[in-house]
Amino acid sequence: MAKLIFLWLKCLVSCCIVEAVFEDQVGKFDWRQQYVGKIRFSHFDSHVQSSKKVLMATEKNVFAALNTRTGELFWRHVDKTGPEGNIDAFLLHGQDALLVVGNGRLLRSWDISVGGLNWEVVLDSGSFQSACLIGQQDTVKHVAVLKKTVISVHYLSNGHQKWIENLPESENIDYQALYSGGNGEVYVLGIVPHSHIAIVVYSMEDGEIIKQTSVEAPWLSNIQTSCAVVGQGMITCVDSLTMSLYTLDMHTQSKMTQIPLQSLGLEVTPHFHPVLVSHQPNAAHQPLSEFLLQLGPEHHLLLQLNSGQMVVLRDFKPVRHMTPVLTSCVFVSESEHNLQIDILLKGLLHLSLFNAETGRRLLDTTQFLSIDPNVGKPESIYVQAFLKKDDSVSYRVLVQTEDHTLTFIHLPGRVMWTREEALSEVVTMEMVELPLTGTQAELEGEFGKKADGLLSMVLKRLSSQLILLQAWVSHLWKLFYDARKPRSQVKNEISIENLSRDEFNLQKMMVMVTASGKLFGIDSKTGSILWKQYLNNVPSNAAFKLMVQRTTAHFPHPPQCTLLIKDKDTGLATLHVFNPIFGKKSHITPPALTQPILQSLMLPLMDQDYAKVLLLIDDQYKVTAFPSSKNVLQQLQETDLTTTQIWEVIIPTEIQKVVTVKGKRSNEHVHSQGRVMGDRSVLYKYLNPNLLAVVTESTDVHQERSFIGILLIDGVTGRIIHEAVQRKAKGPVHVVHSENWVVYEYWSTKSRRNEFSVIELYEGMELYNSTVFSSLDRPHAPHVLQQSYIFPSAISAMEATLTEKGITSRHLLIGLPSGGILSLPKMFLDPRRPEIVSEQSREENLIPYAPELLIRTEWFINYNQSVSRVRGIHTAPSGLESTCLVVAYGLDIYQTRVYPSKQFDVLKDDYDYMLISSVLFALFFATMISKRLAEVKLLNRAWR
Q: Binding segment for another protein among 505-513, 576-584, 599-607, 743-751 (CB under 8 A)?
A: 743-751
Is 14 a binder of another protein (CB under 8 A)? yes
Minimum distance between the CB of residue 127 and another protein, rounded to whole angstroms? 16
- Of positions 473, 850, 928, 934, contacts another protein by CB under 8 A: 850
- Of positions 488, 495, 910, 944, contacts another protein by CB under 8 A: 910
Q: Binding segment for another protein among 99-107, 204-212, 449-457, 580-588 (CB under 8 A)?
A: 99-107
Q: Which is it for strands 378-387 and 367-370: parallel, antiparallel or unpaired?
A: unpaired
Backbone φ/ψ region at 345: left (φ over 0), alpha (ψ -120 to 50), beta: beta
Minimum distance between the CB of residue 40 and another protein, rounded to whole angstroms? 18
- Of positions 27, 69, 72, 80, contacts another protein by CB under 8 A: 80
Is 907 a binder of another protein (CB under 8 A)? no
> For the chain, what's the residue count?
944
Nearer of residues 168 and 848 to another protein, judged by Cβ: 848
DSSP annotation of 211: E
Nearer of residues 103 and 809 to another protein, judged by Cβ: 103
Minimum distance between the CB of residue 2 and another protein, rounded to whole angstroms? 10
Is 103 a binder of another protein (CB under 8 A)? no
Minimum distance between the CB of residue 106 and another protein, rounded to whole angstroms? 6
C-alpha pair distances (Å), 723 with each of 75, 719, 782, 829: 48, 11, 12, 19
- Of positions 4, 10, 364, 415, contacts another protein by CB under 8 A: 10
Peptide bond into 556 cis (omega under 30): yes
Q: Which of residues 256-285 bind another protein (CB under 8 A)?
A: none
- Of positions 32, 52, 59, 75, contacts another protein by CB under 8 A: 75
CB burial readout 881-892, b (16+ within 10 A) else e = bbbbbbbbbbbb
Is 455 a binder of another protein (CB under 8 A)? no
Q: Binding segment for another protein among 17-25, 439-447, 549-557, 838-846 (CB under 8 A)?
A: 17-25
Rounded-to-integer distance, Cα 555 and Cα 578, Å: 16
Is 705 a binder of another protein (CB under 8 A)? no
- Of positions 848, 871, 872, 879, contacts another protein by CB under 8 A: 848
Query: Reduced to 3 states, what is the DSSP secondary structure of residue 538?
Result: coil
The residue type at 923: L
Minimum distance between the CB of residue 857 and another protein, rounded to whole angstroms? 5
- Of positions 72, 120, 569, 766, contacts another protein by CB under 8 A: 120
Is 118 a binder of another protein (CB under 8 A)? yes
C-alpha pair distances (Å), 399 with each of 42, 44, 349, 804, 911: 11, 13, 10, 44, 49
Minimum distance between the CB of residue 738 and another protein, rounded to whole angstroms? 25
Minimum distance between the CB of residue 148 and another protein, rounded to whole angstroms? 18
* φ, ψ at 609 (rounded to 5°): -100, 20
Query: Using an 8 Å Cβ cutoff, are 288 and 278 in contact?
Result: yes
Minimum distance between the CB of residue 873 and another protein, rounded to whole angstroms? 17
Rounded-to-integer distance, Cα 67 and Cα 410, Å: 14
Task: Using CB atoms within 10 Å of the CB of residue 629, give its burial: 0 to 12 exposed, 13 to 18 middle, 19+ buried.
Answer: middle
Side-chain-side CA neighbours of 518 within 13 Å: the count stands at 22
Q: Which of 244, 242, 259, 357 is nearest to 308 (CA)?
A: 259
Is 9 a binder of another protein (CB under 8 A)? yes
Site string (859-898) toward another protein, x via CB under 8 A: -x--xxxx--x-----------------------------
Is 496 a binder of another protein (CB under 8 A)? no
- Of positions 40, 43, 105, 545, contacts another protein by CB under 8 A: 105
Minimum distance between the CB of residue 748 and another protein, rounded to whole angstroms? 9
Nearer of residues 496 and 701 to another protein, judged by Cβ: 701
* φ, ψ at 515 (rounded to 5°): -65, -25
DSSP annotation of 921: H
Is 21 a binder of another protein (CB under 8 A)? yes
Query: Using an 8 Å Cβ cutoff, are 544 and 428 in contact?
Result: yes
Rounded-to-integer distance, Cα 624 and Cα 930, Å: 81
Is 749 a binder of another protein (CB under 8 A)? yes
Is 817 a binder of another protein (CB under 8 A)? yes
Is 723 a binder of another protein (CB under 8 A)? no
Minimum distance between the CB of residue 249 and another protein, rounded to whole angstroms? 42
Minimum distance between the CB of residue 391 and another protein, rounded to whole angstroms? 36
**Bridge partner list, 811:** 825
Nearer of residues 207 and 831 to another protein, judged by Cβ: 831
Minimum distance between the CB of residue 173 and another protein, rounded to whole angstroms? 28
Query: Using an 8 Å Cβ cutoff, are 739 and 830 in contact?
Result: no
Q: Which is it for strands 244-249 and 87-93: parallel, antiparallel or unpaired?
A: unpaired
Is 83 a binder of another protein (CB under 8 A)? no
C-alpha pair distances (Å), 269 with each of 221, 228, 292, 793: 19, 20, 16, 57
**Triad 694, 700, 703: Cα angle to 5°:** 105
Minimum distance between the CB of residue 833 and another protein, rounded to whole angstroms? 12
Is 468 a binder of another protein (CB under 8 A)? no
- Of positions 29, 119, 610, 768, contacts another protein by CB under 8 A: 119
Q: Binding segment for another protein among 148-156, 386-394, 543-551, 789-797 (CB under 8 A)?
A: 789-797
Q: Binding segment for another protein among 112-120, 374-382, 517-525, 589-597 (CB under 8 A)?
A: 112-120
Q: Which of residues 326-355 bind another protein (CB under 8 A)?
A: none
Q: What is the 3 state secondary structure string of 497-510?
A: CCCCCCCCCCCEEE
Is 17 a binder of another protein (CB under 8 A)? yes
Minimum distance between the CB of residue 500 and another protein, rounded to whole angstroms? 32
Is 416 a binder of another protein (CB under 8 A)? no
Q: Which is it for strands 31-33 and 893-898: parallel, antiparallel or unpaired?
A: antiparallel
C-alpha pair distances (Å), 339 with each of 212, 371, 385, 395, 604: 35, 22, 10, 11, 60
Q: Which of 414, 445, 419, 479 is nearest to 70 (CA)?
A: 419
Q: Which is it for strands 560-567 and 573-578: parallel, antiparallel or unpaired?
A: antiparallel
- What string of DSSP letters covers 837-906? --HHHHHTTPPPP-SB----GGGBTTTT---SS--EEEEEE-SSTT-EEEEEESSSEEEEEE-TT---SS
Minimum distance between the CB of residue 506 and another protein, rounded to whole angstroms? 22
Nearer of residues 854 and 934 to another protein, judged by Cβ: 854
Nearer of residues 105 and 612 to another protein, judged by Cβ: 105
- Number of residues near another protein (by CB under 8 A): 66
Q: Binding segment for another protein among 161-169, 262-270, 382-390, 908-916 (CB under 8 A)?
A: 908-916
Site string (645-684) toward another protein, x via CB under 8 A: ----------------------------------------
The residue type at 828: F
- What string of DSSP letters covers 468-537? HHHHHHHHHHHHHHHHHS-TTT------STT----TTS--EEEEEEETTSEEEEEETTT--EEEEEE-TT
Rounded-to-integer distance, Cα 557 and Cα 394, Å: 52
DSSP annotation of 195: T
Residues that bind another protein (CB under 8 A): 6, 9-10, 13-14, 17-18, 20-24, 75, 77-81, 84-85, 102, 105-106, 108, 111, 114-120, 122, 702-703, 749-753, 790, 792-796, 817-819, 848-852, 854, 857-858, 860, 863-866, 869, 910, 912, 915
